[in-house]
Structure 1
Amino acid sequence: MSVIRQKIEKMFEALAAWLFTFKYPVLIVMILGLVLLCSQLVHITIDTSTEGFLHESDPILMDYEAFRDQFGREEVAMVVLNPEKIFDLAFLEKLKALHEDLEDNLPYLDEVTSLINARHTHGSQDELIVEDLLETWPDTPERLRAIKSAAINNQMYRNLLLSEDQQYTSIVIRTQTYSVSGSSETDELDDFLLDEAGMPDEEAVAPVKVYLTDQENSEFVNALEQIVERHRSPEIDITIAGTPIVTDFLKRSMLKDMKKFMRVALLTISFFLLVLFRRVSGVIMPIFIVMVSLLSTLSLMAISGIPIKMPTQILPSFLLSVSVGASVHILVIFFQHFDRNGDKKAAIQYALGHSGLPVLMTSLTTAGGLLSFSTAKVAPIADLGLFASFGVVLSLIFTLVFLPVFLSIFPLKPKRLKAGAPEAGRNEPGSFMDRVLNLCTHLSCTYPIRVLGIALLLAALAVAGIYRINLSHDPVRWLPDTPGGVRASSEYIDQVFKGTTSLEVIVDTGVENGLYEPDLLNRLEEASEYFETYRDDACYVGKAWSITSVIKESNQALHANDPNFYRIPQDKALVAQELLLFENSGSDDLEDVTDSKFSTARFTIKVPFIDAIAYAGFIEHVQDYFNTYMPEQKIQITGMVSMLSRIMSNAVYSMLKSYFYALIVITVLMILLIGKLRIGVFSMIPNIYPILIMLGIMGWCRFPMDLFTMLVGSIAIGLAVDDTIHFMHNFRRYYEMNHDPKSAVHETLHSTGRAMLVTTCVLSLGFFTFMFASMNNLFNFGFLTGITLVTALLSDYFIAPSLMVLLNPKRSKEPSDTIPLKGGAS
């Protein structure tokens, strides 16, 4: 295996010589290619929607899109008002002004519903009248009392337009289903797909439906906030919330945080590069490489039509931090050789020959760890795995090409050593770093059993903490808990109106006019009554309704508005007649609860926005209920709640699979690099150990296992293995020279150990910057990843040397005090 390794090192030396000779043509070709690739960056988009977490082929998403095509968007924005008195003419005038302002000035609007235009169904001389509650403005106290009585006694208003205590009223706003750039009229689409006989045309191709975009949602929310601000007054407390508001806040926070993270990452990288190399060139070259790696990766996303989503927002700062490692290891060796010999070409060849293979292997292992995410069932995690691995590979290519070219072109001068000074790249004798590395060598090589024993005790403590980890997916709780903020507003409205999101149940009879059957309608009504009283330890229902509400209102109205007739008629023909009368009244509200053939019913269950884990048992209960009491019908669960639950179940499965794949891929690569199966397997211990410690910290500190903290393990193992590879590669080189494991550890830590420290500082601080994010989930992600990388470095300083000392006995041949190295210091 050592022969193969030497041949590969010679190939890297040959590559360096070729690049030195043809540096200008290579530079021109690479720059032109970069300009062409990065020109596509303007097409990058952002998607913070919940449905963006699922693949287009996911059955749950396909069901949800079919639901939206039929019934429109279920996500609503709510404007909640808390006046001194709701049924007061002065307040109703203000409510009307706000309502009309929203209708006139909100973009992408489907409908606005409030007490002003709430459905008011009543009868007059055997005529069914469906009109707005305030169709006729109350100009007398008697008329106002009648309006108040009608509103209070209307069960559909409760927890929708009026709070249970009648202290709050809401305006419910629903946006358009489709983007202005896509299909917006389903009727026109249906006509397009029918032939002249009115049958489906098999040759017709449906136009692409583009749902309301993130940008359009942001425009809607901005307009909503401006309109509400115009109507604020000291007398009326106004709060806005809802899924569109949360989605827009996530987008704005993401953009702000991405800029912040990139600035901090660049400053951190520049600082440590300057400290390490004390040369401007040692800063400029790696920074250029990490920037073109990032821009190229984002351009590939733009070309592929993949938007930046919540989990992929970590990609820019991640690539900035990760991409610098390869440059650091090559430059450290280059400047050591160059400062001593002054021969630039020889130094470039030596640096690539020395570090090319471990740099290649570290990039492949990092990419392999990330690529394990590419099969995830959560779409943005799969995107992150795919494009982060692309970014790492691009960074490798740019490092191996641009770095030798730049070193060839830049007018560098060697730093001459004073008499008696240590080799370039080493620490001054007695320096702090020198003492630290000597201590690491002494402890790990003199007391390897004790070092491993302490590590084992910490691992046992971590295992105990793992059992305390709780799964979570709660986007609202990601948000900062600031007074008056989006999170506080969402929780406030959830409390007042018993929910801001919903679970949708589609009941398909499979036959036209199947909803005329009183027996089925009775069961739907029983389901409404049952779920409106549902409450368990984690979830409760604020409201449940279906087509039965329309039928009961119509039946009461046609019986002289007698409340005793607020029930389902037990005659199929009468049900059909009442629905026909309701349709002919001019109201289009039936479109919200059934299809045009009365074969499918929409059953809506309004619930609070809570942790998606808590929804799982509730969804299962709903499914079991409908399967039990409506076995003849096809039952389909959909809606925002269903998607949130699906995202978490997908994430757990993907996490387990990605951890397994990453472990297998990295272990195989380690064995290939080291060349020995036993040592290759044992070398994975310093890589697995930090993950174990991280999981223990997560459990003991009660950090939730969410979509972001799930990423830590695979990302960290892909990064942690980099230092292990550099340690093992150099250890094998020195051990094969002198057959003394302690001496090999000493030389390894005093050469590549310094670069390992710098790259770990850059990486860990790059992730620690996420602790300054606007959202709690990113704080947890940054803290845990940073801690894991620091633990990984300590593992390579203590656990890896201890293992190598135990697994590689000292041979009879005594090494000399100074280890001879071909071509100079390593």
Structure 2
Amino acid sequence: MNNSLLSLSVTRPKRVLLIGFMIVVLAAIGGKSLYFRGDYKVFFAQDNPELQAFEQMQNSFSKNESASIIIAPHSGEVFNPQTLSLIRELTEESWQTPFSSRVDSLSNFQYIHADEDDLIVEDLVDKNNQLATTELLRIRQVALSEPDLVGRMVSPQGHVTMISITVNLPEGDQTAEVEEITAFVKAMTDKYKLSYPEHDFYHTGVVLMNDAFAASAKHDASTLVPLMFATIIIIMWLALRTFVGTFATVIVIVGSIATTMGLSGWMNMFLSTATVNVPTMVMTLAVADCIHVVSSMLFAMREGKDKKDALLYSLQLNVKPIFITSATTGVGFLTLNFAEVPILADLGNLTAIGVIFACLFSLTLLPALIMLLPMKSIPVQKENSGRTEKFGEWVINNHRRLLPVSLLVAVVAVFFAFQNQLNDVATAYFEKSSPFRQSTDFQQENLSGMTNIDFAIYTEQESGINAPEILMLIENFSQWLRTQPEVDHVVAISETFKRLNKNMHRDDPAYYVLPDDKELAAQYLLLYEMSLPYGLDLNNQMNTDKSATRIVATVQNLGSKELTGLESRAKDWFTQRAPELTVTAASPGLMFAHIGEANMASMIEGTAIALLLISGLLVFALKSWRMGVISLLPNLLPAGIGFGIWGIYSGEINLGLSIVLSMTLGIIVDDTVHFLSKYQYARTAGKDAEQAVRFAFASVGRALWITTIVLALGFSVLMLSPFALNADMGMLTSIIILVALAVDFLFLPPFLMIFDKKTV
């Protein structure tokens, strides 16, 4: 950008404002096309192998996405007349849930037993039966001895039970349907809470998890953005003490956000739990650019320049570092396209667009507004004696001690950085105070985990599941699963065959074994299916031609390593015993476990490319290989130290933290570029390293303090999000940004003074 273009905002401010506002308005119109998606599938690309396996399983068998209601009687006993009546009534009404296709509970469990030569299939809690003491004892005895019930629909102690509502959600955007189902289920349980006040109700399941995703995003959009906006205005005013500069910055922020979100609407993008944070990020990064322009202008005015000359001086001094920092920040966010999660790529692309517009508006709209608005004169200060300058003198005087100390701290921190381990727990994405998290924790502690792993076994032969050898394989595999420490419950078709074989032999326990004849097994199954009521068929366990079956393992709410480890052991079990069979494993929990590991691997690749591109940009912009090489250390150390602090604080990296390295690499370059550009400016003017460091502290030190506070506070606002991915990402990013300033103030100046002795 040459001097004539730079001066245009100062000499023709009205024309610049008119053009700028027209661009903002035209772009912002696209915002009306934005819509929100809160379902978990937005985390996965269409070609994601785990998603494809899950959808294939959903197509082969009936869908098993559910909304679950956990009932906990205050008495600590489910098997009493009042609680069983509640379960029965709530089960019947649950069939009215929108999009429901099946309801399973203790009351409508299909209890099979023999009566002479007859096979009886009936509800365990029949509405026509009086719940007398003997009947209660019978129901309790049956429920707590049925493998398909205990540990799944009722706790082994009999103190907690669950009603599972299976729903058939449409493909694509499911947000409206999820909200409708959730609202119905919660309203229904609220009604029964009034009728049965001695019971507590908890809501879990995939549908409720989808609703929790949406609720977290809406909370962030409605609270964090306004909070950040207010925080920025207060910081700007306290730091710069200029109404005009603060007001002009607010206009740039609003323009940058409106343009970015409007363009996303024009591009037919949707909002998600990730992209609702774009306004906060754009706002934060836009302020950083504006602060440098305003701060340098005030610095020039304190040295005696009038507003116009001070603005021209500020633009000339800052245009290169602002363009460099915007380019490097944009590159950092664009590398999120390497992420395996589509909405994280959307986050990177939209933020990069916002950064570019923030850069352009801070160099055009900001000075134009300042020129048009009346501004008080600033008293001339011939000597710099502020706190930043005094701090700079302390760094200069102690630079030989600061360098080894800072290097030692960095080495120790980097050691702890390698102690971090990737571990995603999908249910832990939500803070402990959220209703969904409290429900899943209660379910884990009292009944079972919420997470499932579904194993599909394909024989590729019609009625292949009825073969005795296949049934025995299913039985052995289900028993193996039950011995695994991560597994709480297993549903397998082999249990149904054993029950049927016993029933057909007058309930003789000796016949609680698998039938040894394929035709006999097929007849048992046909007889049983003909006896089942509508909605409670076996399509959730077998496909239509009986060539495949699904085994559902309910596991504890585990991290990604434990889930993928269990999957790997299960597949090895089949490889050793039945390599000819096709076996797949899938579930939302397993999908999140795999995507976390894949995302970390892809982001490491993205970070390496970002480092190369950013280093090349710095060498090109600073026009010095030496300065480019010098900039590498202060740009790499903050991330290493930040992850080291996280290793001490937590030690676990989730899906949100896997993108922080690439994302922050472009941001933390900002401080280094601004400091080095001022340092290089002074060196070119003939000053030695010590004098150049002193000039850099005086001219840009205050601005770096302010921008760091703004950036750190901006991202720390995300810590208030109830969604752990956003909260953890905000926390670690804030830590790295603060560390970056410490590195640029305590490591970079001593490094320059000791190693940059060359005369310019």
Report the TM-score range of the alignment, normalised by the length of the smaller protein. Answer: over 0.9
Of the three residues 429, 436, 451, the one matched with 1:501 is: 451
2:379 is matched with which residue? 417
Q: How does 1:540-551 map to 2 (within 5 A)?
A: 540-551=486-497
Could you say which residue in structure 2 is the equivalent of 1:492? 442
Cα deviation for residue 512 of structure 1 reads 2.2
In structure 2, what is the equivalent of residue 8 of structure 1? none
Is the Cα–Cα contact under 8 Å of residues 369 and 665 in structure 1 kept in the other structure? no
Give the alignment of 1:469-480 within 5 angstroms.
469-480=420-431
Equivalent in the alignment of 2:109: 118
Could you say if the C-alpha distance between residues 696 and 416 of structure 1 is closer, same or farther in structure 2, counting changes exceeding 3 Å?
A: closer
CA contact (8 A) 1:480 1:487 kept: yes
Q: Secondary structure at the match of 2:465?
A: helix
- Structure 1 residue 505 displacement after superposition: 1.0
Aligned position for 2:169: 177
1:452 aligns with 2:403: yes
Alignment match, 2:353: 390
- Aligned runs of 1:335-734 on 2, under 5 Å? 335-337=298-300, 346-408=309-371, 410-413=372-375, 415=377, 417=379, 421-422=381-382, 429-444=384-399, 447=400, 450-482=401-433, 485-535=435-485, 540-587=486-533, 588-734=536-682
SS of residue paired to 1:715? helix
Count of aligned pairs: 753
Show the counterpart of 1:797: 745
- Tell me the alpha carbon deviations over residues 316-347 of structure 1, each in whole angstroms, 9 at most, x when there is no partner: 22221111111222223344456767766555
Tell me the distance in 2 between the aligned counterparts of 1:747 and 1:90: 80
Identity of aligned residues (%): 25
Query: TM-score, normalised to structure 2's length?
Result: 0.92
Question: Aligned match of 2:218 in 246, 252, 255?
Answer: 255
Q: Which amino acid aligns with 2:403?
A: L
Structure 1 residues 140-151: aligned runs within 5 Å: 141=132, 145-151=137-143
**1:95 alignment partner, one of 79, 87, 101:** 87
Counterpart code for 1:281: V
Q: How does 1:59-138 map to 2 (within 5 A)?
A: 59-83=49-73, 84=75, 85-104=77-96, 106-123=97-114, 126=117, 128-135=119-126, 137-138=128-129
Compared with structure 1, are the counterparts of its residues 67 and 585 closer, same or farther at alpha carbon in structure 2 (3 Å cutoff)? Answer: same
Aligned-residue offset at 1:109:
2.5
Between the aligned partners of 1:91 and 1:126, the Cα distance in structure 2 is 34
Q: 2:291 aligns with which of 324, 328, 332?
A: 328
For residues 449 and 230 of structure 2, the distance between their equivalents in structure 1, rounded to whole angstroms, comes to: 44
> What is the 5 A alignment of 1:135-214?
135=126, 137-139=128-130, 141=132, 145-178=137-170, 209-210=171-172, 213-214=174-175
Matches within 5 A, 1:223-262: 223-232=184-193, 233-262=196-225
Which residue number corresponds to residue 183 of structure 2?
A: 222
Partner of 1:185: none
- Write the letter of the residue equivalent to 1:79: I
Superposition CA RMSD, Å: 2.7
- Which amino acid counterpart does residue 603 of structure 1 have in structure 2? I
From 8, 28, 33, give the equivalent of 2:18: 28
How big is the shift at 1:349?
Answer: 3.9
Letter in 1 for 2:408: L
In the alignment, the residues of structure 1 paired with residue 88 and residue 307 of structure 2 have an alpha-carbon distance, to the nearest angstrom, of: 79
Are the counterparts in 2 of residues 159 and 543 from structure 1 also a CA contact under 8 Å? yes
Look up the equivalent residue of 1:118 and give its one-letter code: F
Q: 1:330 to 1:290 in 2, by over 3 A?
A: same
Q: 1:779 to 1:358 in 2, by over 3 A?
A: same
CA deviation after TM superposition for structure 1 residue 131, in Å: 3.6
* Aligned CA distance change for structure 1 residues 29 and 416 (closer, same or farther; 3 Å): closer
Inter-partner Cα distance in structure 1 for 2:454 and 2:175: 23
Q: Is the 8 A contact 1:509 1:599 kept in 2?
A: yes
Say whether residues 1:738 and 2:686 are aligned partners. yes
Which segments of 5 or more consecutive residues in structure 1 lack a partner in the other structure?
1-10, 179-208, 423-427, 814-826
SS at match of 2:398: helix
Structure 2, unmatched stretches of 5+, are: none
Q: Shift of the alpha carbon at 1:607?
A: 0.7
For the residue of structure 2 that corresponds to 1:683, the secondary structure is: helix
Residue 47 to residue 612, structure 1, CA distance change in 2 (3 Å): farther
Give how far 1:633 is off: 1.1
In the TM superposition, 1:294-333 aligns within 5 A as 294-333=257-296
Q: CA deviation at 1:586?
A: 4.7
* 8 Å CA contact 1:112, 1:174 repeated in 2: yes
Distance 1:671 1:663, change over 3 A: same
d(CA) in 1 for partners of 2:460 and 2:255?
57
Aligned partners of 1:131, 1:595: CA distance in 2, in Å?
24
- Of 500-509 and 672-681, deviating more is 672-681
Contact preservation (8 Å) 1:499, 1:606: yes
1:494–1:609 contact (8 Å) kept in structure 2: yes
Relative to structure 1, the CA distance from residue 316 to residue 457 in structure 2 (aligned partners, 3 Å threshold; closer, same or farther) is same
Query: How far does residue 782 in structure 1 lie from its aligned partner after superposition?
Result: 3.2
Question: Which of residues 28, 39, 43 is equivalent to 2:29?
Answer: 39
Alpha-carbon offset, residue 143 of structure 1: 5.1
Q: CA contact under 8 A between 2:328 and 2:617: conserved in structure 1?
A: yes
- How far apart in 1 are the matches of 2:566 and 2:616? 43
Q: In 2, Cα distance between the equivalents of 1:161 and 1:416?
A: 74
Give the Å deviation of 1:494.
1.7
Structure 1 range deviating more: 435-444 or 380-389: 435-444
Contact residue 378 and residue 654 of structure 1 kept, 8 A = no
Question: Is residue 37–residue 175 contact of structure 2 (8 Å, CA) maintained in 1?
Answer: yes
Equivalent position amino acid for 1:107 in 2: P
C-alpha change, 1:73 and 1:47, in structure 2 (3 Å) is farther
TM-score scaled by structure 1? 0.85
1:276-315 CA-partner distances (Å, limit 9, x unpaired): 4422220111112122222332333344444433344433
Q: 1:139 to 1:396 in 2, by over 3 A?
A: same
| Structure 1 residues 555 and 613: CA distance shift in structure 2, 3 A | same
Q: Which residue of 2 aligns with 1:53?
A: 43
CA contact (8 A) 2:27 2:259 kept: yes
**Post-superposition shift, 1:585?**
2.9
User: Partner letter of residue 685 of structure 1?
Assistant: L
Moved more, 708-717 or 387-396: 708-717
SS of the aligned residue for 2:543 comes to: coil
Question: What's the CA shift for 1:251?
Answer: 3.0
Do the aligned partners of 2:395 and 2:750 also contact (CA within 8 Å) in 1? no
Asked if the contact 2:39/2:214 (under 8 Å) is kept, the reply is: no
Seen in structure 2, the aligned counterparts of structure 1 residues 417 and 90 have a Cα distance that, compared at 3 Å, is closer
What's the offset of the Cα at 1:371? 1.3
Superposition deviation, residue 362 in structure 1: 0.5
* 1:750, distance to aligned residue in structure 2 (A): 0.4
The CA distance in 1 between the partners of 2:69 and 2:608, in whole Å, is 47
Classify 1:138/1:377 alpha carbon distance in 2 versus 1 (closer, same or farther; 3 Å): same
- Superposed CA deviations along residues 708-762 of structure 1, whole A, max 9, x for unmatched, are 3333322322111111111111211111111412111111210122211111111
Distance 1:303 1:507, change over 3 A: farther
Q: Which amino acid aligns with 2:425?
A: D
Q: Distance in 2 between matches of 1:402 and 1:173?
A: 55
Deviations 1:447-498 (A, max 9, x none): 3xx322111111121133224323221233343334x943333122123223
CA deviation map 1:596-640 (0-9, x unaligned): 121121111111212222212111111111222221111111112
Please give the alpha-carbon distance, in whole angstroms, between the structure 2 residues aligned to 1:271 and 1:91.
Answer: 55
| Deviation at residue 372 of structure 1 after TM alignment | 1.5
State whether residues 50 and 644 of structure 1, in contact with CA within 8 Å, keep that contact through their aligned partners in structure 2.
no
How far 1:368 moved relative to its partner? 0.9
